[in-house]
Amino acid sequence: MLYVYIKKLQMNIISPLTLLIVPLIGSLIILSWPLAANYASSTASSAQLNLLQSNRALGKGELQQQPQAIVLSTLKKETALEKRNSNLKKIAILTSLVNFILSIVLWIQFDSTYIGYQFITDISGLEGASATLGVDGISLFFVLLTTFITPIALLSSHNDIEKNLKFYLVSILLLETLQIAVFVVLDLLLFYIFFESVLIPLFFIVGVWGASSAKVRAAFLLFLYTLKSQC
């Protein structure tokens, strides 16, 4: 178990650490969302197959009522799945918008006349592990850009992503956290670790939910060439 102690905070709530925690909280909420209607799509396809087979083989009589029950059950499960997906999308978009608002507050609170890092947060854990977070006049605008683009990315794919939606939303929020960490961490080693870690959610986003037929190849090329150029 990791015990985190914040040694110094220039703000009570608004800090680089807050911008890292908010997407993680949203990811945990999405992951822990009830798993009802997870198999609605597969159930629907099998129910439709059963319906066709029943119409062809069972004939007339009381057995004709069985396909109707299957259709009703399928419709209920599809409705539950659509409602669940809609709620997950709302949680992800709301999380990204909250982070964007917090970054704007961070920008407003930023003192442009001061030369150096601000909102410095020291985090220490077990066995002497520590990390220092902060923003300056350059990294602040990269943080703003990241929090601004994330809700746009979620909204642009609002009606397009249905396959493994939960893991897609978590990947986007995790990507936002890693990108912000790249710009706010003040330790060189952690900067390199977060910089390379960005490739992991990018690989899955491109390889699983990409629009091209060669999306898997594109994901591998992106991962390998980007990793090679960074080494």
**Domain ranges in the chain?**
5-34+97-197
Residue 128 has a pLDDT of 65
pLDDT in tens, 115-153: 889 998 888 765 667 888 999 999 999 999 999 999 999
Least confident of 11-15, 50-54, 114-118, 188-192: 50-54
Q: Is the pLDDT confidence value at 210 over 50?
A: yes
Residue 202 pLDDT > 80: yes
Confidence of residue 24 (pLDDT cuts 50, 70, 90): very high
Percent of the chain with pLDDT over 70: 71
Residue 76 pLDDT:
61
Q: Which two tokens stand for residue 170?
A: 């978590």
